[in-house]
Amino acid sequence: MAYSVSPVFETDTASVYVGEASTVLTFLEAGSFDSVLTVPPDMPDDDGVEAWSQMWAGQLLRVLKSGAHLVVFGGTSQGYRVACGLARAGFQIRDTIAWLHATGLLFPVFEPVWLVRKPVEGSIVANVLKYGTGGLNINAARFNSGRWPVNVALDQVVALQLDIETGTRWSSVRCSDRFPVFSFDEDLDPLGYLTQPTDVHETVCSVSLLRWLARMVTPKNGVLLDPLTTDGAVVEAGLLEGFQVVAIAPDESALPLIRQRIERATGQA
């Protein structure tokens, strides 16, 4: 497979490489990234997912700063295999976020999102002081007038259904207020299509959800990495939050959409 050891597309705040993630990552500087947010593609062979994940995760361990967090989406059928690969590579599984959405009839409404971390050096405090990584940005991830972030996220349809079924739709305190709620309304890609599951991966992402996750794990003025981008949604989310973003696309077919997302996020569209 062809790959690029220098960006095929670059702006002041975004760089995009092309190639197999585990290969391209070997050319990136060790300890140079503050966080990872990514949506791995579905693999045709379930049995090979864990080994494949361990391969690129091993390179992520090298390029991330100590204590850096990763947020990794996973389909319901392969997500646990991805998590096993991350753990075998040396990452610590910290939590799982349940992304509950009602997009599409042929796809599950539950998507596991794994929150993992590269081990810290010494104490968390010492690691944060040295690298700026190791803890979560709780204040940036608060919702609904200061609520502490929780590990369940809803889309608007699921939130409405929850309120109807719990009988609190018309009360002053809705059940859904206890969870962060994200919209797909702003998630039309630059060609006018809603981000949907494809034959590449089944996970349905909301850019507003990705922005929340990016804020949670990336320090101010940090560098966010998406090693497995196929549509540029993470790139757009990171840029909208003011981060430097580096992405690796598997091939050049995704570049037009990624470029348009970058231009939209930076006001160049």
Q: How confident is the prediction along the chain (269 residues), in pLDDT tens digits per residue? A: 455 578 999 999 999 999 999 999 999 999 999 999 999 988 777 889 999 999 999 999 999 999 999 999 988 888 899 999 999 999 999 999 999 988 755 565 888 999 999 999 999 999 999 999 999 999 999 999 899 999 999 999 899 989 888 876 556 778 999 999 998 765 554 434 334 444 444 446 789 999 999 999 999 999 999 999 999 999 999 999 999 999 999 999 989 999 999 999 998 65
CB 233 within 8 A of CB 241: no
Domain residue spans of the chain: 45-224
Please name which of 220, 222, 219, 198 lies closest in space to residue 233, comparing C-alpha atoms: 198
pLDDT at 197: 41
- How far is it, in rounded angstroms, from Cα 170 to Cα 201? 38
Question: Whole-angstrom Cα distance, residue 101 to residue 219?
Answer: 28
| Amino acid 184: pLDDT | 77
In CATH, the number for domain 45-224 is 3.40.50
